[in-house]
Structure 1
Amino acid sequence: MTNLDRFADLTLLSFGKINVTLGGVVTGAVVFMGAMLLARLVSHALRGVRERSSPRTAGALYLLEKLASYGLVILGVIVGLSAAGLNLSSLTIFAGAIGIGLGLGLQGVVKEFVSGLFLIFDRMVSIGDYIELEDGVRGAIVEIGPRASRIRTNDNVNIIIPNSRLIEDRVTNWTLKGDTRRIHVPFSVAYGANRAQVRDAVLAAARANPFTLPETETRKSQVWLVGFGESGLDFELLVWPTQTAVKRPASMHAAYTWLIADALDQAGIEIPFPQTDLRLRSIFGHEGDEALRVLGLQRTTGRAAAGAAIRPSVAPTTNDAADELLSPSDDIAGAEEDSPA
């Protein structure tokens, strides 16, 4: 037996039937490091396939990626321990030590790890989904890790969220299972405007844009009159945008607001502004039109008095928010980009 063999057979730990040698520890460490390296390579390969795949299959590939990497690491741990001289039956000896470790502070780590597994298998929150938390944080999920998930806002800010928060707290998933949602865009017009003309002009502008989905029996673009404001009629545009637009709420609302303003300008429909009516009951013994003539004034309509006669049609202006919606995004599953208001 050579000196190297004697060195490898050097006993480090002997307890009952357990005999841990230096050579076994080195072998186990090599096996474990090999498993870690293999898990990283497999995860990198599957990530490359996922990034080139469609959003429909990206979630399944992410699940496969995590299962493969976790499985290889666990297999490496088991084989490494066996190579070090600890057979599977001897692992029960370490259960007490693991329990003590959990009692001293590993509960949180295990909790987040288990929560991450639930997130991966449950699929109510998946990679690429655009979510909103109770505290108002909104963004696309780009990674679900063993301890925390990473959310990227539309301002390219990465927010690390513990996995348990996505399970225990209320989470609004705006794009669950790749679906869209209806949005409400408020706007107002001056009193006296033709309501039918307002509706037709705004609907035509909304339907003509590529980030508005084609209408169906259950998903139609609409204009509602929702109230009588202090200076004008309050309306809302109800529209079903594309999924890409839903994931860019700030740009989406800005784009539709700009479109509405352009549509009202081209139709010559006045946007309201604050105004106050002053009624003079008697001036030097005269009332009404007679009192105005005494003052050298003339009765005018509310619109003319404000100096806002019906405006001529104007050409559409440059809508930067709409250009932002139509620009391609480079997110992980076609799911990220700019920030909410």
Structure 2
Amino acid sequence: MNTFLNTDLWKIGASTITVSSLLAALGFFAGGILVAWLFKRFVDRMRRYSTAEGAPAIYVAGQAGRYLIILFGFLLAGSALGIDLSSLSLFAGALGVGIGLGVQDIFKDFIAGLVLLFDRSMEVGDFIELDTGVAGEIRSVGARATTLITNDNVAVLIPNSMLISNSLTNWTRNRATRRIHVPFIVALGSDKNVVRAAALEAAEAVPFTLPDSDDRRTQVWLVGFGEYALKFELVVWPKREAVKRPGSMMAAYRWAIDDALQRHGLEIPFPQHDVRIRSFFGSEGEEGLRTWRGEHAPRPAERATKGPVGSVNDAAVEISEKQAQQDQIEAEETIREAASIMQKASTVSVDSDEEVDRKTKPRTKR
């Protein structure tokens, strides 16, 4: 048995590889793989029981630990084979040749994966969207590719280097939500106050809408005038989990808006052409109809004039509030600067008085 284990297999430089050294190297390397797998299972369990804020940091530590364990097992295997680790420059040179021959993309993806792990601009659990339109939640960052899970439960593998070199949108950066804009239209001539009330009711009816606060408030904006419609946007802050499902989120708000508009008797228009007679013998509206029927129509002086009905302009209110906050900050800074200048002036004045007293005080003869 000893003779078999000490049988020479081949030589690498000055080192002789025997059966026993080969088995020991395989054992160390397999042990490193096993320990890395167990470490991964341990880290995954910690992530399941950790908070949402701590899970990404645990994932980064787990990935770095796995790489180190595998590297340590590889070094132990090389040492068991009797290879002088100081002579690994030959291996590094061969690796450089391999990279030059076509492995550079894999090496680039590996380095990009390390950058993603430690850069923290994207973390496991973030919802990102690429320029190509692919969007999903980051499930894992591997040595070659990052796995995204779309809302249709489709796993998409993105090379790590693409996430580094291309632009993308991180919708849940820093575990925060975002404000969304839900467009909708109503018929020309609709009462803006009624439209606003209906849209706010729709937002409140959706369960994942965040309540209003000092820095987050649901609003309704009039954003344009069409040929046959008024264009509005419901500006609302949903919960973070809803942001990760943009299709379902927008569908829920549109459904609620349609229900609210129907309850308030508001019409969602469609392209049409109406022929309207603006006046009939100098009379308009109901007066023109009475003139058509031969009824008495009041003279222009008798017509009551209507003033514009006041309404809440959320977009103007938002800008005014932001301006007021900025003005308050600038006023506070001005007050602090004035107080600082006065304090310095008071200090200089006291020092001057002391200097004058010191100079005018008669000296005592000894």
What TM-score do the two structures reach when normalised by structure 1? 0.78
Structure 1: segments with no counterpart, 5+ residues: 282-287, 294-341
Deviation at 1:38, TM superposition (A): 1.0
Q: Within the alignment, does 1:61 sit opposite 2:35 as a pair?
A: no
Q: 2:76 aligns with which of 75, 79, 100?
A: 79
Q: Which residue of 2 aligns with 1:43?
A: 40
Deviation at 1:232? 1.6
Shift of 1:54: 2.3
TM superposition shift of 1:10:
2.3
Match of 1:115 among 93, 112, 132: 112
- Is 2:262 the partner of 1:265? yes
Of residues 239, 242, 247, the one that matches 1:245 is 242
1:126-205 aligned at under 5 Å gives the runs: 126-205=123-202
* Equivalence for 1:314: none
Alignment equivalent of 1:19, drawn from 5, 9, 16 = 16
- How many angstroms apart in 1 are the aligned matches of 2:205 and 2:92? 65
Query: Counterpart of 1:94?
Result: 91
In 1, Cα distance between the equivalents of 2:157 and 2:265? 49
* Separation of aligned partners in 2, 1:90 and 1:100: 17
Match of 1:233, SS state, is strand
- Superimposed CA distance per residue, residues 221-248 of structure 1 (whole angstroms, 9 cap, x where no aligned partner): 1101111112221100001110011001
3-state SS in 2 of match to 1:275: coil
Cα distance between partner residues in 2 of 1:272 and 1:101? 65
Displacement of 1:143 = 1.1
Alignment match of 1:217 (pick from 214, 218, 242)? 214
Runs of 4+ in 1 over 4 A off after TM superposition: none
Q: Which stretch of structure 1 is more off in the superposition, 63-72 or 207-216? A: 207-216
Identity, % of aligned positions: 48
Match of 1:32 among 17, 29, 47: 29
- How much has 1:209 moved relative to structure 2? 3.2
Shift of 1:16: 4.6
Cα-to-partner distance string for 1:13-69 (whole Å, 9 max, x where unaligned) = 335532322221111011100110110011012112212322211101111211121
TM-superposed CA distance for 1:279, in Å, is 5.5
Partner of 2:329: none
Change (3 A) 1:22 1:235: same
Separation in 2 of the partners of 1:16 and 1:258?
A: 74
**Alpha-carbon contact 1:207-1:221 (below 8 Å) kept:** no
Tell me the CA shift for residue 205 of structure 1: 2.6
* 2: CA distance, partners of 1:53 / 1:14: 50
Query: What is the distance in 2 between the residues matched to 1:191 and 1:245?
Result: 32
Query: Is the contact between residue 127 and residue 141 of structure 1 (CA under 8 Å) also seen in structure 2?
Result: yes
- Taking the aligned partners of 1:57 and 1:280, their CA distance within structure 2 comes to 68
Unmatched 5+ residue regions in structure 2?
A: 279-287, 294-366
Indicate the residue corresponding to 1:234 in structure 2.
231
CA RMSD, Structure 1 to Structure 2 (Å) = 2.1
Q: Is the partner of 2:11 in helix, strand or coil? A: strand
Work out the CA distance in 1 between the residues paired with 2:11 and 2:202: 81
Output one character per residue of 1:215-271: Cα deviation in whole Å (capped at 9) or x when no partner.
Answer: 222221110111111222110000111001100100110101111111111122222
Which protein has greater RCO, CA pairs closer than 8 Å, 6+ apart?
1
The answer to whether structure 1 residue 52 and structure 2 residue 36 are counterparts is no
Q: Supply the distance in 2 between the matched residues of 1:110 and 1:61 (Cα, whole angstroms).
A: 25
Q: Is the 8 A contact 1:189 1:233 kept in 2?
A: yes
Whole-Å Cα distance in 2 between the matches of residues 125 and 196 of structure 1? 42
2:238 corresponds to which letter in structure 1? P
Query: Could you say what secondary structure the match of 1:99 adopts?
Result: helix
**2:133 counterpart SS class:** coil
Query: How far, CA to CA, are the matches of 1:60 and 1:87 in structure 2?
Result: 36
Q: Which residue pairs with 2:4 in the alignment? A: 7
Task: Give the Cα separation in 1 of the matches to 2:275 and 2:203.
Answer: 39
The answer to whether the 8 A contact 1:111-1:164 is kept is yes
1:135 & 1:14 partners in 2: Cα distance? 52
Higher mean C-alpha displacement, 203-212 vs 149-158: 203-212
CA apart distance, 1:208: 4.3
Q: Is contact 2:182–2:254 with CA below 8 Å preserved after alignment?
A: yes
Matched-pair contact (CA < 8 Å) for 1:183–1:239:
yes
Q: Are the aligned partners of 1:202 and 1:263 in contact in 2 as well (CA < 8 Å)?
A: yes
After superposition, the Cα gap between the structure-2 partners of 1:280 and 1:240, relative to the gap in structure 1 and judged at 3 Å, is: closer
| 1:256 has 2:250 as partner | no
